[in-house]
Amino acid sequence: MVTRCKIIYCEGPGDLVASYAAWKRGHDFTKETSVTFSGQFFEFCRLKSLSFYAVSYCSLAQTIVEGSCTVSNLPRREIRLPKIGYELTVFLYAVRLLLIALQVRPQVIFVTSGVTDWIYLGILRLSGARIVPILHNTLWPEGFPPRQGLRQRAYRFIWQRCVWRTLAVSPACARQVQSIAGPVPITIFKPSFPAASFTEAKPKQFEDTSFRVMFAGRIEENKGVFDILDIAEQLPHVEFLLCGEGNALPELRRQVDARRLTNVSTYGQLERVQLLDRYLQAHVVIVPTKSTFAEGFAMVVAEAILLLRPVISNPVVPATEVLQSAVILVPTDNVSGYVAAIEDLSKSGSSYHRLVDQAAALRASILDDSTSFLESLKIIGKRMVGIDLHRCAS
């Protein structure tokens, strides 16, 4: 007999099984600097005694079943066809999720950004469950709206007819949904960070080393990593520390060597402790996301500010709106703007320390969990009218 559950929770490419195992042990998932959203979901279900089926499309296929709760890495089969390959991939994955829903008969399905296209939420609605999208990305790069077309009209239909409630990681995400669908109900949450990991925050001594700029995140072209190389060429007296992994890492390293950029170091993926140490070695953090990426928040901005490192970024990054007092904004996709900002800041101790003071003033609000993902789930839980918040029997 198939075990019924109250909730299906659908996440992206992360290892959900490993995250669940860490949460069960009461440990932070050390591959992440923030408190994982999946861990907060598991905690919500524990607090409310809710059964669940949590699924990610992590390529490491694995499943854990504990009573009426299931956690599964269900790889998404990539269909490599020109133009229609991605659409077929996410459509078929939505169908697979529907088949799971028809088996376990949930009353609510949470779907995070990237699991499928939002257009296919209508497929999941065929299960009879209430649909709650969780936006970790904007619908389009902030400040670069698309032309009104078929996809936007489809999104309007989905949000008006198929979606019950929406959770959004930033005001930018919420604004974009409501610009398409009108005043639909949206709860905005923010990322959470383990306070214990940020207790050693001390301002960087401005004069103690050459000026250091750090990047942390996915090593991809649309994250602006190759712009950093262009910036480094123009600022040979500034050191650049690049941390993270991604498809573009081999090409990035090749270009560092080819351009003979002795002021650029790449470190690959780091565990939390090592990554935080790199933050502390830097003076500032750069987040040069390009206009081709629909950034939802950019947690690196909050991490840097927690560690009293000012940020240089651009308006396509929604976190800069929330934490703007400790951020230097330059025009999106503008290499010369980054060069000027870094050059000016590296020469002005007073400007630098003013931004550090602003970062210190923001720490309490970043660590305040009153609007965390967990709290947003509790708000949704209160609106689950007619749902008995107890485990279902097999």
CB contact at 8 A, 44 and 385: no
Structure confidence at residue 389 (pLDDT):
42
Whether residue 338 is predicted with pLDDT greater than 80 in this model: the reply is yes
177-223 pLDDT, tens digit each: 999 999 999 999 999 998 877 876 788 877 767 899 999 999 999 99
Q: Which residue has the higher pLDDT, 349 or 54?
A: 54
- In angstroms, rounded to a whole number, what is the distance separating the alpha carbons of residues 363 and 275? 19
- Angle between helix axes 373-382 and 37-48 (nearest 10 degrees) is 40
Q: In the prediction, which pLDDT does 196 show? A: 79
What's residue 209's pLDDT? Answer: 74
Taking the C-alpha atoms of residue 43 and residue 377, their distance in angstroms, rounded to an integer, is 10
Average pLDDT over residues 214-235: 97
Q: Is 315 a residue whose pLDDT tops 60?
A: yes
Question: Residue 284 in 3-state DSSP?
Answer: strand
pTM for this structure? 0.92
Q: Measured between alpha carbons, how far is residue 270 from residues 56, 278, 383 in Å? A: 22, 9, 40
213 and 240 in contact (C-beta within 8 Å)? yes
Tokens (6 digits) for 375: 């709290």
User: Could you report the per-residue pLDDT of 152-179, keeping only the tens digit for each?
Assistant: 999 999 999 999 999 999 999 999 999 9
Sign of torsion, CA 253 256 262 266? Answer: negative
Contact between 45 and 7 (Cβ < 8 Å): yes
392: left (phi over 0), alpha (psi -120 to 50) or beta: beta
Q: If you average pLDDT over every residue of the chain, what do you get?
A: 92
Q: Can you tell me the mean pLDDT for 102-106?
A: 95
Q: Is pLDDT at 388 greater than 60 in this prediction?
A: no
Q: Give tens-digit pLDDT for 52-97.
A: 999 999 999 999 999 889 999 999 999 999 889 999 999 999 999 9
Q: At what angle do helices 37-48 and 16-24 cross, to 10 degrees?
A: 50
Q: What is the mean pLDDT of residues 237-252?
A: 96
Q: What pLDDT does 29 receive? A: 57
Q: Return phi, psi of residue 243, to 5°.
A: -120, 130
- pLDDT given at position 95: 97
pLDDT at position 348 is: 87
Residue-range domains of the chain with CATH: 7-192+372-382 (3.40.50.2000), 195-367 (3.40.50.2000)
Percent above pLDDT 90 for the chain? 82
Identify which of 278, 307, 302 has the alpha carbon closest to the alpha carbon of residue 371. 302
Contact assessment for residue 231 and residue 338, using Cβ atoms and an 8 Å cutoff: yes
Q: Residue 175: helix, strand or coil by DSSP? A: helix
